[in-house]
Amino acid sequence: MCGIVGYIGNLDSKEILLKGLEKLEYRGYDSAGIAVMNDNGVQVFKEKGRIADLRNIVDEDVVANTGIGHTRWATHGVPSTVNAHPHQSNSGRFTLVHNGVIENYDILKREYLQGVALKSDTDTEIIVQLIELFVNEGSYTEEAFRKTLTLLKGSYAIALLDAENNETIFVAKNKSPLLVGLGETFNVVASDAMAMLQVTDQYVELMDKEIVIVTKDAVKIQTLNGEEISRDPYTAELDASDIEKGTYPHYMLKEIDEQPLVMRKIIQKYQDDNGELTIDQEIVEAMNDADRIYIIAAGTSYHAGLVGKQFIEKIAKIPVEVHISSEFGYNIPLLSEKPLFIFISQSGETADSRAVLVNVKEMGHKALTITNVPGSTLSREADYTLLLHAGPEIAVASTKAYTAQIAVLSILAEVTAKSRGLELNFNLVQELGIVANAMEVLCDAKEDFEDIARKFLSTTRNAFFIGRGIDYYVGLEGALKLKEISYIQAEGFAGGELKHGTIALIENGTPIIALATQESVNLSIRGNVKEVVARGANPCIISMKGLETEEDSFIIPEVNELLTPLISVIPLQLISYFAALHRECDVDKPRNLAKSVTVE
């Protein structure tokens, strides 16, 4: 979703800002812009489309040591150059970029800005015009900024330039992520450390309702009430090479291929010196204290949660409910007496999940976040965190984070079960090792999946994924993967559910991707395949070794039945990838989507 960068120092800021924005491209955007400031004032360059389009219009001759930049994912107003950030006040004195959504922007417009001609359809422009209004009424800039912030309802991360003070960037944050990066003779602002890793790995986290005055030599953090805050920086543990594609044509393919490595890393990170799986004792106690677990997540993370429920219920014997975060607020179930909330989020920034976390904390309940991003909002605000150790996931379509989430959930279930004295009939470390090897076999079979994608998906309008039990949950994830990057209308169904309505959509040649990795339901799912074949469907059966028949399109290696989602998803990821390629889609940056969904 939207991204912010800012630089103030001794160097020309243009290239630093543009490179920073390129690093944020993965978050999803539809327009971009930068504003640079020198003794001659502020110059704004903005363009609909890609950063490459923006580069074409930036005036190379302008040299400026201070600047801010933005990638916009449209919420208020269509994607266009006018609606792109930065936005300027009418006199041109103030220039601002903003992430988030100002919920009361219409009210503010009516109450304060009746006589002001607005240029864009955005909620953001209201902020910059309000600052100018208060300055015109006699406030100095910082005061006007504070006054404006106290009026805003909703989420924001803001970087502001004042043309009459080219030695400062004014920054503020509420609910949307924002960091200040520290350098020797410069400082930077970024919504994600990845953006500015090119110049520093030292960052200070900003908390909600803080305002920061950033100059090239100093960073002054305050609350909105003016209380000074001192906070130590942390080192962003990101390797610049982790965020490069290397020889891969797409991040998605690279990230699919990284899954065996991630599995092994997770085993290693969660093993103690004796080779036993271990997690923080406080988390184990919280699991044991709970009479019911509520998993809250969105998208792919929600699908991982569905698999996690199986682990926690079957292995640790604690009842689990899984909820979509954007729905939870309106449909809060009757909570048990001692609930534990588990938030699953690759980014740790998903606004829908964060809204539930805030609610849950207000109710006084404990929360654990399972995330890939240390220091992310969901991690900071929960009582406990378990990390995925998957390395940065750049492609919008989540792949390695999904399998990492499932692996970490299996470890959580196993360690909890052991602490409760429950006997396990398998050794999870060994089984995850077998999974990692099986993942390698599947990643090496790319040509087979390219053939399957060509045969089943190159011209179809729609596709259905079916499975029973845990395969059904993997089917949901397969359908999400396919639709988000190839734009084929894809849906996942429980095998037995098709005949209750959806079978009406089956026509000659409709692809049905069926998963058959569970012995207990193997015959039933094959029965469901027969039902759709009888109506003209084109079946692609992916089964597991030991359960295969001659009609199957691909047979995955055998792993522990409970852990099959870790490997059965890989064919679905690769089939989706090749289907998107065949259809010439932008695999890593699918239309309308953002990597981090930071608005509700």
Residues of the shown chain interacting with ligand M6R in the complex, contacts defined by CB under 6 A: 298-301, 345-347, 350, 353, 396-398, 480, 484, 597
Q: Pick the catalytic residue from 2, 443, 540, 585.
A: 2
Q: Is 109 known to be catalytic?
A: no
Nearest distance from C-beta of residue 383 to ligand M6R, angstroms: 18
Q: Provide, rounded to whole angstroms, the least separation between the CB of residue 200 and ligand M6R.
A: 25
> Least distance from C-beta 592 to ligand M6R, angstroms?
11
* Backbone torsions φ then ψ of 370, nearest 5 degrees: -110, 110
Q: Which residue is nearest to ligand M6R (CB)?
A: 299
Nearer to ligand M6R, 345 or 538 (CB): 345
Exposure letters 183-206 (e unless 16+ CB within 10 A, then b): beebbbbbbbbbbbbebbbbbbbb
Query: With contact defined as beta carbons under 8 Å apart, do 372 and 388 qualify?
Result: yes
CA distance 534 to 527: 11
Please give the Cα distance from 291 to 487 (Å, whole number): 41
Residue 366 or 595 with smaller CB distance to ligand M6R = 595
> Is 140 exposed, middle or buried (CB count within 10 Å of its CB: 0-12, 13-18, 19+)?
exposed
Residue 595 appears among annotated catalytic residues? yes
Which entry of 109, 481, 483, 595 is annotated as an active-site residue?
Answer: 595
CA dist list (Å): 149 to 122, 142, 146, 189, 223: 17, 11, 5, 18, 11
Residue among 5 and 396 whose Cβ is closer to ligand M6R: 396
Q: By three-state DSSP, how is residue 515 classified?
A: strand
Rounded to a whole number of angstroms, the minimum distance from the CB of residue 95 to ligand M6R is 30
Least distance (Å) from ligand M6R to the CB of residue 465?
A: 15
User: CB of residue 595 vs ligand M6R: minimum separation in angstroms?
Assistant: 7
- Determine how many CB atoms are found less than 10 A away from the CB of residue 364: 6
In terms of CB distance, is 484 or 588 closer to ligand M6R?
484
Classify strands 210-214 and 165-174 as parallel, antiparallel or unpaired.
antiparallel
CB of 206 closer than 8 Å to CB of 173 = yes
Cβ(567)–Cβ(559) under 8 Å?
Answer: yes
Q: In what side-by-side order are the strands of the sheet with 187-190? A: 41-48, 31-38, 66-72, 3-8, 187-190, 179-182, 202-205, 234-235
Q: In this complex, which beta carbon is closest to ligand M6R, that of residue 537 or of residue 572? A: 572
Q: Which CB, 9 or 305, lies closer to ligand M6R?
A: 305
**So which residues are the catalytic ones?**
2, 595
